[in-house]
Amino acid sequence: MDTFAQLVILTFAAGTPLVFAALGELVVEKAGVLNLGVEGMMLTGAVASFIVTADTHSPWLGVGAGALGGAALSLVFAVLALTLLANQVATGLALSLFGVGLSAFVGRGYISVVIEGIKPLSIPGLSDAAIVGRLLFGHNPMVYLSLALFVAVQWFLHRTRSGLLLRAVGESPASAHAIGHRVIALRYAAVLFGGACAGLGGAYMAVAYTPSWTEGMTAGRGWIALALVVFATWKPWRVLAGAYLFGGVTLAQFQAQAAGVAIPSQLLAMLPYVATVVVLAIISRDATTIRLNAPASLGKPFHPE
Amino acid sequence: MRIALEARREASRAAIVLAPVLATLATLAVGFVVFEALGKDPIAAFHAFFIQPVATRYGVGELLLKASPLMLIATGLAVGYRANVWNIGAEGQLTLGAIAGGGLALAAGDARVPSALLLPAMIVAGALCGMAWAAISAWLRTRFNASEILTSLMLVYVANLLLSWLIHGPWRDPDGYNFPQSKQFTDAALLPNLLSGTRLNAGLLIALAVVAMAWLFIRRSVWGFEMRVAGLAPSAAAYAGISSKRNVWLGMLAGGACAGIAGVNEAAGPIGQLLPSMSPGYGFAAIIVAFVGRLHPAGIVFASLLMSLLYLGGESAQVNLALPSAVTGLFQGTLLFFLLAADVLVNYRLRVVGARPATP
Amino acid sequence: MSAAALAPDVQARPRLSLRGITRAYPGVVANDRIDLDVLPGEIHAVLGENGAGKSTLMKIIYGIVKPDAGTMQWEGEAVRIASPAQARRLGLAMVFQHFSLFETLTVAENISLALDAAEAGPGLPAKIRDVSRRYGLTLDPARLVHAMSIGERQRVEIVRCLLQAPRVLIMDEPTSVLTPQAVLRLFDTLRQLADEGCSILYISHKLDEIRALCHRATVLRAGRVTGECDPRRETTATLARMMIGAELPHPRHRPPVAGAPALVIDGLDLRSDDPFGTTLRSISLTVCAGEIVGIAGVSGNGQRELLTALSGERRVARRDAIVLCGTAAGRLGAAQRRSLGLAFVPEERLGRGAVPEMSLAENALLTARHRGLVWHGLIRADAARSRAAEIIASWSVKAAGPGAAARSLSGGNLQKFIVGREILQGPRVLIAAQPTWGVDVGASAQIRQALIDLRDAGVAVLVVSEELEELIEICDRLAVIAQGQLSPARPVVETNAEELGLLMAGSAAMPEPTAARGRA
């Protein structure tokens, strides 16, 4: 039973970077903006959080810096794609390429630095009690943060007027503009929020999950997060489910390696990427569902007037 | 009063040419600031970055050597990008090309296969394998409607793991002191040198030939025309009866073939064996080259030289200025950002708005 | 009550007053020193043909577009309206020609987004029901907009405006989406509003409607005010002269000489690929060589689906559901159908009928890729240029030349180019969707005449349009599409606008296709 709790906790831990990044991207896409720069923003968030943690010895300050770093990079995207009406696909790609270079550049001095990261909760009498206690109270604090983010996003999108407006803008920016809403300002806010979430995902990896800094340490999780949003057909709870599914796949690969399965580690390591491709194909196959759920203006530039 | 964008009735031809120049200048300006901030003398840094690497015959050879895969891959990608087919997995297709070509070279081993037979066979094998890798994304897109952006990118990781497995396992050089690397290729499997005193090889000629063919395809062929229509106005393409599936296949396969050949050229050129990493990110840098070159073959040639110079400059800066080579990636990204920003001038003009009282 | 008694007090201070409003776009002055006064409680028409600058002027008033010059007064005070939000605070409301609704949201959600947060509280559904009852605009606040007809959607727009208790209501071409009967009901609502003191700015190019409804009219031509009048005292002819500077042109007609069937649609069923689209149900229609058949209907009743099925942009399951010049064409693609002799003028000119960024020469190539312009897979650029030049000359298209980008042309000129391109291919069947929508009067007349000439030359012509008058003017037979079903086509002389209007509303009994039509 103990192993079961351990497996669940590890699965959540492996899925959490995707929860952060994909929930942020979901909000961005709900506003009708396609930001392919998630990988770059995650790496920027990771490096920012690691540097701040290493220098201040405060991992939570680091987490804040990670969110800021991701948001700062997303601001570049917002200016190019929203104000200057650049092609969103090209701009997002540029953001990812740039983020990889930027994080490698500023993180060069921190590659073998050791930090005191954020540890899993350990509440005496609860976290170590029975299996239920461990399942409820044994996670890393940032896992709870990601769950809080999920609740907040779900509540915002479906229970608030601003959330309603965000969905409306994603469907028809021209209509929202015509009835007097500030489409570009709202999209800026969404993009910055998405950047901050991606930054949090990166920060989680750098100061809680591993904790360490290596170049390109997100290893494609930003792209998997993008696939996850499609997989989830733009529904937050499905993002959550999908993220833990991928967490489980990642974990299975590690477990198999540890158990000494006679499959080369490189082939096992392909598993999450292959799974992403397969799942993406299965979901995308139903074009009607995608069209029904995808924000109608996704990826299209909007120029008031 | 404020500045607003106003749509032009026709794209400005001047802006199409000027935007890349403007972007390059702005990138240099940023470089100036970065060097200054890092406490380096900007003039000396610029010299070390942009002049020193190409001051010698060897340096010029290196410039062309690194530009070859970039222009080759970017040309292939541009065919697809014109039709909104976003293959961003060229890095993986390059790896597969290197695996195929390299595998053939290793299989030939010391069997004394003549170079005139072996090299073309390697290039064909590389192209086919690159295409096959790209075909996965094409098929998933046309059959399952799955975004080729995401699938082609995921397959980069899979391809690199595949290569890693091969040279850690079955293809590892038994005499290589346990390093993850294959045997050295025999001379018959190496591309001939073009310019003595440099490492420049025949890969450049292949790249230039492909660029010329791409120019003919894009400008003059009906299929090239149809792909441009599909990229500019998908509804018009459907109206005119242009097959979107064929465009996806053509676009993906063109990119895959070019990247695959580039992979063979790297393996059979400067590297001469298979290593865990066959390219310093050429497959991704080529995306930037394609955009900076305006998806136009001639533009791509210029852009690949510029990008190659950034690679060399990064290496030179590492040696001479003790700057990290990652600065290359930074400059590449910045260049693309400025280009995208400058592009707004192609389709819009800046206009000062604000209601003034009417003249009586 | 007589109309005169309802006339507003001309001595009253204008509620809204514009002076010298000017707005230029590259290559065209859309509004050139426009003056306009709107009095309290009047229905004021802004009359002008397509491209005269009406829409730009309304967008300026509503704060969507900013003028280059000119001043505005509201209730005697100088104002500068910088945004729609500010316009709404002043008491302006607008019903757009292209609705600003969100299809995936409910009626109540749609309306709440247009109101201030304070007004959009939980009491909103009750308020919506209240207003809709008062003005006879039946609405269910909980319904999703995508499930509603175009006419119902317009009601949502109007109720949304009325909830703001506007003092000026702008209606932009509101009747283009309505059946003749619905137009009369809308007029009742507008008169009731005006009686209550609300001013109405009524934008239209339909002269009869303006004469029936409006107290005053300001006429625009080419961006300038060319006259102001009481439309009730004018005739259609005098209004037309003010609007276009000439009499309305009428095409020359000859009695039809119908030949063999060229396009046969037989029991066509098709599910829309748009989740919010219309499903086509057993559509049957025959178009013979030498006749023009029209399909009338309010937009959104399956026209888009029918046209993509006919053009080959979508293939249909049964081969013989569409027979083109004797060949079962249901499963053929657009290019193959073209080679059978089909030509198609789509509703959207930019982006579908033509590639905006491409030159006219390249656009000439678009649908003629296999007609002498191509040699062994390579494009003959010279031939494409001379083809474009030929179209430009014979249709007097105003363009810089074959090298001009399609998007640099005005709507009317681009439409002439597209129609010209399609006719030049020598089709045996021509399908035209909304051939004169948004086109100026001169170009409209030229296009209509060309369709009639084509008919006289023995081509089968199918016209799908929302403009009933246009269809009645040029067609030999007319069918009506409503909710994805097509009524049998009847000779135009045997029907009238009222009867067609009932069919368009889908309320008249739609006879089932008889078994006798059967399978060919």
Radius of gyration of chain A (CA): 19
Residue C520 has pLDDT above 50, yes or no: no
Does the beta-carbon distance from B222 to C352 stay under 8 Å? no
Q: Tell me: the pLDDT tens digits for C190-225?
A: 999 999 999 999 998 888 899 999 999 999 998 999
pLDDT at residue B355, as a whole number: 43
**What is the interface pTM, i.e. ipTM, of the complex?**
0.89
Of residues C68, C351, C405, nearest to B236 (C-beta): C351
Q: Are residues B8 and B110 in the same domain?
A: no
Are B355 and C67 inside 8 Å of each other by CB? yes
The confidence score (pLDDT) of residue C1 equals: 38
Nearest Cα of chain B lies from the Cα of C378 at a distance, in angstroms, of 4
Contact present, A27 and A187 (Cβ < 8 Å): no
Q: Residue C100 and residue A174: Cβ atoms within 8 Å?
A: yes
Residues of A in contact with C274 (CB under 8 A): 291
Query: Do C353 and B239 make contact, defined as CB atoms within 8 angstroms?
Result: yes
Distance CA(C372)–CA(B22), nearest Å, equals 42
| Residue B144 to residue A269, Cβ atoms within 8 A | no
Hey, is C105 helix, strand or coil?
A: coil
The enclosing domain of B282 has a CATH number of 1.10.3470
Cβ burial of B318 (10 Å; 0-12, 13-18, 19+) is middle
Identify whether B57 is part of a domain.
no
Specify whether B29 is located in the same domain as B119.
no
Query: Is residue A101 scored above 80 in pLDDT?
Result: yes
Q: CB–CB of C461/C287 below 8 Å?
A: yes
**pLDDT of C354 over the 70 cut:** yes
pLDDT for residue C519: 35
**Predicted confidence (pLDDT) per residue in C397-442, tens digit:** 988 899 999 988 888 899 999 999 999 999 999 999 999 988 888 8
Nearest to A236 by CA among A16, A24, A34: A24
Residue B240 counted as domain residue: yes
Confirm whether B204 is domain-assigned: yes
Handedness of CA B85, B91, B93, B97 (dihedral sign): positive
Q: What pLDDT is attached to residue A130? A: 73
Convert the pLDDT of each residue in B233-287 to its tens digit.
Answer: 999 999 999 999 999 999 999 999 999 999 999 999 999 999 999 998 899 999 9
pLDDT digits (tens, 9 = 90+) for C87-109: 988 999 999 878 889 999 999 99
Q: Which residues pair with C21 in a beta bridge?
A: C34
Provide, rounded to the nearest whole percent, the portion of chain A with pLDDT above 90: 69
Using the predicted structure, report yes or no on whether residue C305 has a pLDDT greater than 90.
Answer: yes
- Least-confidence region, from A65-69, B353-357, C258-262, C371-375: B353-357
Q: Identify the pLDDT of residue C281.
A: 94
Statement: residue C2 has pLDDT above 50: no
To which residue do tokens 């003056």 refer?
C35
What residues contact C333, with CB distance under 8 A and at least 6 apart? B241, B243, C312, C315
Question: For chain B, how many structural domains are there in total?
Answer: 2
> Nearest CA to A34 among A78, A93, A100, A89?
A89
> Which residue type does B327 have?
V
Contact A117, A59 (CB under 8 A): yes
Fold of C3-91+166-244: Rossmann fold (3.40.50)
Residues 6+ apart with CB under 8 A from C150: C177, C298, C299, C300
Chains in contact with A via at least 3 Cβ–Cβ pairs below 8 Å? B, C
Cβ of A178 within 8 Å of Cβ of C109? The answer is: no
The predicted structure's pLDDT at residue A131:
76
Same domain? B166 vs B278: yes
> Which of B154, B164, B334 shows the shortest C-beta gap to A277?
B154
Q: Which two tokens stand for residue B308?
A: 């190659």
Give CA separation, A7 vs A1, A141, A250, B93, C472, in Å. Answer: 10, 17, 12, 36, 74
CA A293, chain centre distance (Å): 20
User: Residues A69, A49: contact at Cβ < 8 Å?
Assistant: yes
Q: Which residue of C has its CA nearest to B360?
A: C20
Tokens of C260: 């063999």
Describe chain A by its helix, strand, coil percentages, rounded to 5: 75, 0, 25
| Residue B205 shares a structural domain with residue B354 | no
Most C-contacting residue of B1, B6, B9, B219 (CB-CB within 10 A), to test interface: B9
pLDDT confidence of residue C106: 93
With CA atoms as reference, report the closest residue to C202 among C217, C192, C188, C189: C217
What H or E segment, with its residue span, contains residue C451? helix C441-456
Element (H, E) at C460: strand C460-464
Q: What is the rounded average pLDDT for all residues in chain A?
A: 92
Residue B254 resides in a domain: yes
What's the whole-number mean pLDDT along residues C459-475?
92
Q: pLDDT class for C327, splitting at 50, 70, 90?
A: very high
Hey, what are B105's tokens? 């070279």
Phi-psi domain of C401 (left: phi exceeds 0; alpha: psi -120 through 50; beta: other): left
In the CATH hierarchy, which fold is given to the domain comprising A2-293?
Answer: ABC transporter involved in vitamin B12 uptake, BtuC (1.10.3470)
Q: What residue type is assigned to position C97 of the chain?
A: Q
Given an 8 Å threshold on Cβ–Cβ distance, is B232 in contact with C33? Answer: no
Q: What is the pLDDT of residues A132-173, one digit of tens each?
A: 777 887 899 999 999 999 999 999 999 999 999 999 999 999
* Residue from C13, C166, C12, C16 nearest C79 by CA: C16
Q: What is the dihedral of CA C364, C368, C372, C376, to 10 degrees?
A: 110
How far is CA B63 from each of CA A153, B264, B268, rounded to the nearest angstrom? 50, 19, 18
Q: Is A220 within 8 Å of A274 (Cβ atoms)?
A: no
Give the neighbours of chain C: at least 3 Cβ pairs within 8 Å: A, B
Distance CA B17, CA A303 (A): 24
- CATH 3.40.50.300 domain position(s) in chain C: 3-91+166-244, 261-341+427-517
pLDDT at A45 over 50: yes
- Confirm if B207 and B71 have CB atoms less than 8 A apart: yes
Task: Look up residue B139 and give its amino acid.
Answer: W
Q: Closest approach of chain A CAs to the CA of B249, in angstroms? A: 17
- Tell me what the mean pLDDT of segment A222-229 comes to: 95
User: In which element (H, E) is residue C390 found?
Assistant: helix C381-394
Q: Using CA atoms, how far apart are residues C214 and C187, in angstroms rounded to an integer?
A: 10
Query: Taking 70 as the threshold, does the pLDDT of residue C7 lie above it?
Result: no
Residues B289 and B181 in one domain: yes
pLDDT tens by residue, C225-267: 998 999 999 988 888 888 888 777 777 777 777 789 999 999 9
Nearest to B85 by CA among B208, B234, B288: B234
Query: Which one is predicted more confidently, C468 or B12?
Result: C468
Range of the domain at B118: 65-321
Q: In C, which residues are within 8 Å of B238 by CB distance?
A: 313, 334, 352
| Chain C residues within 8 A of A167 when measuring between CB atoms | 102, 104-105
Q: Where are the domains of chain A?
A: 2-293
pLDDT in tens, chain B (360 residues): 567 777 777 778 888 888 888 898 999 899 888 888 888 888 888 888 888 899 999 999 999 999 999 999 999 999 999 999 999 999 999 999 999 999 999 998 878 889 899 999 999 999 999 999 999 999 999 999 999 999 999 999 999 999 999 999 899 988 888 889 999 999 999 999 988 889 999 999 999 999 999 999 988 999 999 999 999 999 999 999 999 999 999 999 999 999 999 999 999 999 999 999 999 889 999 999 999 898 999 999 999 999 999 899 888 888 888 777 778 888 888 988 998 898 888 878 877 655 444 333
Minimal Cβ distance to C275: which of A167, A175, A292: A292
Contact residues, chain C, for B215 at CB < 8 Å: none
Whether B21 and B161 map to the same domain: the answer is no
Quickly count helices (H) and strands (E) in chain C.
Answer: 17, 23
Give, rounded to a whole angstrom, the gap between the first and last alpha carbons of chain B. 21
**CB contacts, 8 Å: B232 with chain C:** 355-358
Q: Determine whether the interchain pair B162/A270 forms a contact, defined as Cβ–Cβ distance below 8 Å.
A: yes
**Which residue among B5, B155, B333 sits closest to A94, beta carbon to beta carbon?**
B333
Give the 3-state secondary structure of residue B169.
Answer: coil
Q: Given a cut of 70, is residue C118 above it in pLDDT?
A: yes
Q: Domain C261-341+427-517: what homologous superfamily?
A: P-loop containing nucleotide triphosphate hydrolases (3.40.50.300)
Of B153, B287, B326, the CB nearest to A108: B326
Of B188, B186, B152, B184, nearest to B167 (Cα)? B184
Same domain for B124 and B253? yes
Q: Which residues of B69-83 are buried (b: 16+ CB within 10 A; e: fewer)?
A: bbbbbbbbbbbbbbb
User: Can you name the residues that pair with A87 across neighbouring β-strands?
Assistant: none
Is the Cβ of C153 closer than 8 Å to some Cβ of chain A?
no
In a shared domain, residues B248 and B200? yes
